[in-house]
Amino acid sequence: MVKFFGYLFGIGAVFALLIAAGVWMYLESLSEDLPDYTALQNYEPPVMTRVHAADGSLMAEYATQRRMFLPIQAIPDRVKQAFIAAEDKNFYSHIGVDPEGIARAGVRFVQNYGSGRRPEGASTITQQVAKNFLLSDLVSEERRRRSAAYERKVKEAILSLRIEQAFTKDEILELYLNEIYFGFGAYGVAAASLIYFDKSVHELNLEEIAYMAALPKGPSNYHPYRKTEAAIARRNYVLDRMMADGYISTAEGEEAKKKSIVVKPRERGSFLFAAEYFTEEVRREVAEIFGDKRLYEGGLSVRSTLDPELQKMARKSLMDGLIDFDRKRGSWGGPVEKIALDADWGVDLSKVEALSDIPEWQLAVVLESGGDEARVGLQPKRLVSGSLDEERQTGQLFLETMKWARVSGRAPAAVSDVLTPGDVVYVQESPVAPGTFELRQIPKVSGALVAMDPYTGRVLAMVGGFSFAQSEFNRATQAYRQPGSSFKPFLYAAALDNGYTPSSVIMDAPLEISQGPGLGTWRPQNYGGKFYGPSTLRTGIELSRNVMTVRLAQDMGMPLVAEYSKRFGIYDNMLPVLSMSLGAGETTVLRLTTAYATIANGGRKVRPTLIDRIQDRYGRTIYKHDSRICDGCTQDNWEGQGEPALIDDREQVLDPMTAFQITSMMEGVVQRGTATSVRAVGRPVAGKTGTTNDEKDAWFMGFTPDLAVGVFVGFDNPKPMGRGATGGQVSAPIFTDFVKKALADKPPVEFRVPKGLQLIAINRRTGLSAAAGTPGAILEAFKPGMAPNDSFSVIDFQDSMGVPANVSQEALDAVAGGTGGLY
């Protein structure tokens, strides 16, 4: 009998060895193609790129997977405890696989066999790390054949054992908490906290933490709106586990279980009000520098140059200016849409998409329309859950507030001339009669505004149109338009840099220029069609004289003008033809504002930028705009040494004295020229209007000693805006409104006079020397060795076509004898 049992034992031992060998060989075969688990040491998951304004405000987030990597040390203990309680209570004690969990899952499998219930999982956090990071490619294979699921489980176990040997528990938990998917496009606890609750992970309360810990089991199964009851049940299960494991007290857990799940989904795209055009331009620039992959997956931190307060002011000033133009020169464009009126008009009205970036306006449907008033129903608000507010609000519109809405060229005599029941229109609550509303419409004309620090090129505000939601086309950077007379200061600067003075006199008289065989004769005209005889360069700038500008360009040569336009970055390759002297080329608002900033800072070339610096996911600076060298900035301690000196090696494209001369002449534009409305700014301002043929483009470009601003107004498809729609009438008021608000809390500063420049009294009309204090005398800036003329000398006088009829005898006497006034 003993011998028999001995044989059985021997046979059993052999079979056991054979089975063990088979299992060992099977495991070896599975291990041969296992991924290299040490790759986890170089883990760099796709992480959100975040864009911030200059003051740190969040502007936008870009990601294929909305994830923010958070080191384990920065994750609150209670968050860690919630996930451990929910997913792997023995995490800190097992070796990668949990025998207790496997046994429990086995018992449940036997108990539920044949019931159709899904088997209970027994994966540890370490196994989930192995699956998510190293075995994710097996998921599709697992769907094709069931045996793959068991193979994957074995591979998970093998990798888990190896991972536990190579990494600490905290390192494994860090990988897990930053990788798991939470739904709503959120990956990792940091992003999930922001996206679900719009909070930092450190600000979450207990019930919010428990709900987050419930989501990895299956985000779609615990959707906060569609499956609220299941979500609450799973969250409460997590709270029960936390109480059972001693992480929270029973009182805390029971209190949290009584609360409902309240989420606050975080919006995508731009987070900073009024900054959509600026944000999109930053996105394009980052993508151009680093590529789309790094933009959406690289976890970059971008610090932009945007000043949020100035941006709001810029948006408001441009919007108000475009609306004002539309009301004065436009007509009623009709409703946004028409809907049928029924018992619940709110449902159909809610389907009409409003402009998301104009929160001041609301969509409304006309319910009744009569002689003096109309009753409208406001678009219902959409609640966080996605359902509509059941309350239907109505309001009144009155005829007296919509006289601007001309129909067939006439002001309406009755509200019914403009609105009929079923019309969907924009309205805004009346600022003078709360509870009533005023009619609004999107202007057909558009425009752009750019504000820049003239010394650094940092763009402080940028508005590329009336509404980004209506049109993403950025008219500040993408629209190439003719600058018209706003180009003239650069032609005059070229003259002042090459021997002319502000008191040099040019003949303003009819001019004919042959354009070549078959092209006819070009006869440049002044705005208004008149000619004014001999005029100083200052007068040419202040009153924007076209003909004398062409004569000046002809006298000094267009190749020189083309060279200066390239120096300033206005055009890349300007054709050296005379029509270009009047701004017939095409440029952008940003480029022209940068050119004006160059004059404002004394002639130093600036490179416009919307980005101060970019850091990678580890905080290392990989891009910065300011490339100036700072000697002494790296000193660790102060030992009595002087302040560090910044070495400014930027190109000097204009003589500082010339820059002041042209600045002084553009101050004259504001004081007594084509932009006198800008005097309302109440501080020193230099600038220039620009208006193209048929009033298709209206510009005002200007600057104070510390702020350069460019404004453009025009139709997207260039067409006449109407007689009198000049830069001085249309764009200058927008500039004025913005600069007044932007600099309201800053004291006025005079323009800085370069050393060596002489200020000499002259007659501003004739350019001749004058005694200080005499009528018509001003202080004019002259470079060393140059002075005003003692006798009257007119450039290009002999080549003029004769004396224009409207030039006075006194002006002719001044030309002949060098005495007397001009006009």
d(C-alpha 285, C-alpha 306), whole Å: 14
d(C-alpha 760, C-alpha 766), whole Å: 14
Q: Which residues contact 750 (CB under 8 A, 6 or more apart)?
A: 684, 705
Compute the residue count for the chain: 823
8 A C-beta contact, residue 711 and residue 699 = yes
CA angle at 753 for the pair 752 and 757, rounded to the nearest 5°: 170
Reported as type and span, the H/E element at residue 536 is strand 533-536
Both tokens of 124, joined, read 């540890």
Sign, CA dihedral 279-285-291-295, equals negative
Sign, CA dihedral 108-109-110-113, equals positive
CA atoms within 13 A on the CB side of 37: 23
8 A C-beta contact, residue 800 and residue 531 = no
Residue with tokens 């338009």: 481
8 A C-beta contact, residue 764 and residue 757 = no
d(C-alpha 57, C-alpha 465), whole Å: 23
Cα dihedral value 310, 312, 318, 320, nearest 10: -130
8 A C-beta contact, residue 700 and residue 689 = yes
Phi, psi of 615 (to 5 degrees): -115, 150
8 A C-beta contact, residue 278 and residue 462 = yes
Integer-rounded Cα radius of gyration of the chain: 37
8 A C-beta contact, residue 349 and residue 369 = no
8 A C-beta contact, residue 44 and residue 617 = yes
Longest dimension (CA), the chain: 148
Query: Cβ–Cβ contacts within 10 Å for residue 105, how many?
Result: 15
d(C-alpha 719, C-alpha 330), whole Å: 13
d(C-alpha 752, C-alpha 667), whole Å: 13
Q: At what angle do helices 206-214 and 77-87 cross, to 10 degrees?
A: 40
Both tokens of 334, joined, read 């009709």
**DSSP three-state, residue 451:** strand
- Catalytic site residues? 87, 485
d(C-alpha 513, C-alpha 578), whole Å: 9
Could you tell me the CA-to-CA distances from 758 to 125, 484, 504, 768 in Å, in that order?
A: 79, 32, 16, 15
d(C-alpha 277, C-alpha 218), whole Å: 38
